[in-house]
Structure formats: C-alpha cells, structure tokens
Structure 1
Amino acid sequence: MLYSKKTPAQKRADFRAALASGELQRFPGAFNPLSARLIEQKGFEGVYISGAVLSADLGLPDIGLTTLTEVAGRAKQIARMTDLPAIVDADTGFGEPMNVARTVQEMEDAGLAGLHIEDQVNPKRCGHLDGKQVVDEQTALQRIRAAVDSRRDENFLIMARTDIRAVEGLDAAIDRIKKLVDAGADAIFPEAMRDLSEFEAVRAAVDVPLLANMTEFGKSDLFTVEQLADIGMNLVIWPVSLLRLAMGAAGRGLDELISSGSLEPKLGEMQHRADLYELIDYEGYNRFDSGIFNFTVEK
C-alpha cells in the first residue's frame, strides 16, 4: 500500500550489489509512477527516468527546458512507487559545478539510486539528434568531480554520459571516457554508439559499469539483451519505449472513436479494470479502511 517498502539507502545498496554481480540489469523507462510499478511487476531489475520523457510529459522538446525542481519532483513520484532502484537523467546538471552539486543532493533526497550527468553544451539536445555540441574536457570533468564530491551516500551512483562520439568520433569518446572515470565516475553512459564493436571498444577501455541506450529511431541498432550481455554491458535502458507504446495506443484509440464512435473494438487492447486494481493494490487500501479507518467510538 502507498509507496515502496524499501528505503532509498536499501535500494542503492541493492543496486550496487546487482551491478557487482555481473548480471545485465534491465531498466525500462517509466513515464509515470504507475508504469514504474508495472515494470516491477513484470520482473525487471530497475526503473529508468528519462529526461526526454519528462520533457514530453510537459509537452516540451528535450532541449534543456525542464528545471531541477520539475525533474526532481517527478523523479521522486516515480521512484517512491517501486522497490526497484531508479536512476534519473539529470541532463547537464542544471548549471555550473555548484548547480551539479545541488542536483546530486536533490536527487538523493528524492530517493533515486543514481543519476547521469552529460557533457553536452547547455542547452542540450536529444542524444540521437544531429548538431550536438560538447563542452571542453575541463568542464566535463568538473561536472563529474562536483557530483562525486557532493553526494552524501557513497552508494548513490554517479554516472557520466558522454556525447562526444557523434561529434568527434570513437577515439575521442574513449579518451574522454577514461578521463571521466579518473575524475570519479562510478559508471559510464557512452551515448549513440553505432554498433556492437563500438560498445566492445569502450568495454575494453575501462573497468566500470557501462550502460547501453536502446532507444528506438536513433543512431544505435536495437541489440538484444543477450547480445549486450555477451559483450559485458552492465545496464541497458529503453528510455522512451513505454511512452511511445502508450501514445501510439492512445492515438489509435482516438482514431477509433472518430471512425466508429465507440471504443468497444479496442477493449481487448486495454488494461482491464481488475489488472489496474491489482497493480495499485486496491485490496490493500480496502483492508486498511476496514481494519483501521472504519471504526466506531463506544459511548
């Protein structure tokens, strides 16, 4: 009932242990708190919270328009709904190094298990669009050092994302990745890798957990969990997939209303009321009402 039974500290410790296990951790992207609970129900290892999804949820493009307050608030709502660890896309850290430090502590307070900070110029662009720009090496390293120095829970994961592959090539990406690890990054998110060989090259270069982004309609091929596990990846995210599926289904439903005036033909595609009630633990709330809330005062 209500929120997660695990404390944020427990989730972070469990997440660190899972990363150390060598098993690939699957983190679908949640577009709201209820979808996070569904991800847990289906047996995945964690929940990813995408900046692109949070922007889209507000009807905005993913170009750095969201604020720290908006992202931390929504991330808290999602993370507290599941016992799974949740990691959040913190874009460029919402400002200069001191802002990055505040971002880390806000996300700790929001109950996240970790975040990633990227090396794009602010305002940033979606990682799989052309025309990106990255900051100089010193600025990229300062962001990560600020993030590492400011965290209060040593298990809170600081991941460095680099977008330099699409700007300067793979060799430049590997060089920057090594320096980001030296700056204290616990894990690396190499964005927009072209193929498995590029992931393998990054894997050979550093000995920290690596994340693979399997976003649709982007620069990377959509590799399977087995393919990524075989080359030693530690995390895989599908950041916008559930939102795309949900919006696609919503669009088709609206088209059905326009064409036939009824959604009866779509009933088989909908989540049943009983499944929704099970997911939100309606029975647990009912037990609470019956056993605790509903009482009479003896006279």
Structure 2
Amino acid sequence: MLHSRTTPHDKRRALRAGLSGGELLRLPGAINPLSARAIERAGFDGVYVSGAVLAADLALPDIGLTTLSEVAERSQAIARVTGLPTLVDADTGFGEPMNTARTIQILEDAGLAGCHIEDQVNPKRCGHLDGKTISPLPDAVRRLRAAVDARRDPDFVVCARTDVRTTGGLAATIERAKAFAEAGADLIFPEALADAAEFEAMRKAVDVPILANMTEFGQSTLLTTTTLRDLGINVVIYPVTLFRLIMGTVTESLKIIDAEGTQAGLVERMQTRGELYDLLDYSGYATFDADVLTHGYREDR
C-alpha cells in the first residue's frame, strides 16, 4: 500500500547482489507506476525506465528533449511503488560532467537503484538509429568519472552505455567498454550489438557485468533468456515492449470503437475492475482506513 516498504538503499544492494550473483536479471520497461507493480507481481528481477518511452509518452521524439526534472519525477513515481530495484535511462547526463554529477545525486534522492549514461553528443538519438554523433573517448570517460565520483551511496549502480557500434564497429565498442570499466563503471551497456557472437566477444573482453538491450525493431537479434544466460550476460532489458503493446492495443481499439459504434466487443480483452483493484491493493487501503477509524482517540487530561 502507498509506497514500497523496501528502502532505496536495500534496492540498490539487491541490484548489486544480483549483478555479482551469476544469474540473468530481467528488467522490463515500466510505462508508469502501476505497470511497475505488475512487473514485480509477475516475478521479474527489476524495473527499467526507458528514456524513449518517457519521451514518447510526452508525445516527443527520443532526441534529448526531455529534461532531468521530467526523468527524475517519472522514475521516482515508478520506483516508489515497487520493492524491486529500478534502473533509469539518464541519456547523456543532461549536460557536461558537472551536470552529470548533479544528475546522479538527484536520481539517488529519487530512490533509483542505478542509471546508465551514454557516450553520444546532444542532440542524442536512439541507439539503433542513424544520425548519431559519438563523444570523443576522453570526453565520455570524464562524464562517466563524474557520475562515479558524484554518488553518495556506493551501492548506486553506474552503468556506462556506448552507442559506437553502429558508427565504429565492434572493435570500437570493446575499446570503449574497457575504458569505461577502468573508469569505474559497474555495468557496461553495449548498445546495438548485432547477435550472440558479438555479445560473446564483449563478454570475453571485459570483466564487469554486461547489459543486453532486447528492443524490438532494432539492430540486435532478439535473443532468449536461455541464450543470454549461456553467454554470461548479467542484465537484460525490454525497454519499449509494454509501451508498444499498449499503444498497439489503443490504436486498434479506437478503430473498432469507431467502426462498431461501441466498445462492447472489446470488454473481454480488458483488465477487469477486480483485477485492477487487486493490483492497486484496494483491500489494503480499506483495512488501513478501517483500522484508523476504529482505533479511536482519547485526549488525556
């Protein structure tokens, strides 16, 4: 009920433990706080907050238009309702190294378990699209070191994302991954690797945890969790999956309502009122309210 009883520090410790535990952590992308609760109930290991989803939800393209305040507010709302650790997309850190340092501390205050910082030049682009400009490696390393040095909770996970694969190839991606690991990254996010062989090469190249992005319609083959585990990958995210499913349903449902003049044919596809109330924990609120009402109050005189 209300906020999660698990503290942000405990969530961060859980993510740290998961990264070193030898298992594959599965983090679907939440579209809002209620979907984060559904992710937890479904038995996943964590929650991911996608910058692309947040931008699209605001009817904006994913080109660096969202602000730190918008990202922090949305991710805080998501993180507060789940006992799972939440990892957020922090784009390029929202500015220069000092801005990146501030970003880390604001996300710590927001209750996040970690974030990833990428090595693009603004205006940034989706990692699977053309038109990106990659920061020179020294600049990217300075940005990452600012993030690592700024955190106050040592368990806050700083993930380094590199988008150089589509512009510089696998060798350049491995070079950056090594540099980021040396600079203190807790987790490496090599964006847009092509297939299992490239993930295998990355796993052999660096001795820090690796994140795989299994996004639809992108450059990467959609690998199964079994394959990713066998490759030694530590984290997999499904950043836009739920958002795409929901928006696909919205679009199709509007067509049906327009054509048929009623939503009656869609009712069987809907989450029922009972299912919604169960996910919202209406019963917990009712119990709390009843206890408060019946507890009584007496002023000692």
**TM beyond 0.5:** yes
Q: Residues 12-161 of structure 1: matches in 2 within 5 Å?
A: 12-161=12-161
Q: TM-score, normalised by structure 1?
A: 0.98
> 2:208 corresponds to which residue?
208
The amino acid that maps onto 2:211 is: L
Counterpart-to-counterpart distance in 2, 1:193 and 1:274: 42
Q: What count of residue pairs does the alignment treat as equivalent?
A: 299
Counterpart-to-counterpart distance in 1, 2:252 and 2:57: 19
> 2:175 corresponds to which residue?
175
Q: TM-score, normalised by structure 2?
A: 0.97
Shift of 1:114: 0.3
Residues 258 and 140 of structure 1, relative CA distance in 2, 3 Å threshold: same
Q: Residues 212-227 of structure 1: matches in 2 within 5 Å?
A: 212-227=212-227
Shift of 1:106: 0.4
Counterpart-to-counterpart distance in 2, 1:4 and 1:261: 42
CA deviations over 1:24-78 (Å, ceiling 9, x no partner)? 0000000100000000010000000000011011110000000001100110000
Counterpart-to-counterpart distance in 2, 1:117 and 1:297: 52
Q: Percent identity?
A: 59
Shift of 1:261: 1.2
Gaps of 5+ in 2: none
Gaps of 5+ in 1: none
The amino acid that maps onto 2:152 is: R
Q: CA RMSD, aligned part only?
A: 1.2
Residues 141 and 286 of structure 1, relative CA distance in 2, 3 Å threshold: same
Shift of 1:221: 1.0
Residues 298 and 140 of structure 1, relative CA distance in 2, 3 Å threshold: closer
The amino acid that maps onto 2:6 is: K
Deviation >4 Å, runs of 4+: 294-299
Q: What SS does the aligned partner of 2:236 have?
A: strand
Counterpart-to-counterpart distance in 1, 2:294 and 2:150: 46
The amino acid that maps onto 2:254 is: L
Counterpart-to-counterpart distance in 2, 1:154 and 1:297: 44
Shift of 1:293: 3.8
Residues 277 and 178 of structure 1, relative CA distance in 2, 3 Å threshold: same
Would you say 1:184 and 2:187 are equivalent positions? Answer: no
Counterpart-to-counterpart distance in 2, 1:296 and 1:48: 42
Counterpart-to-counterpart distance in 1, 2:106 and 2:207: 28
Shift of 1:84: 0.3
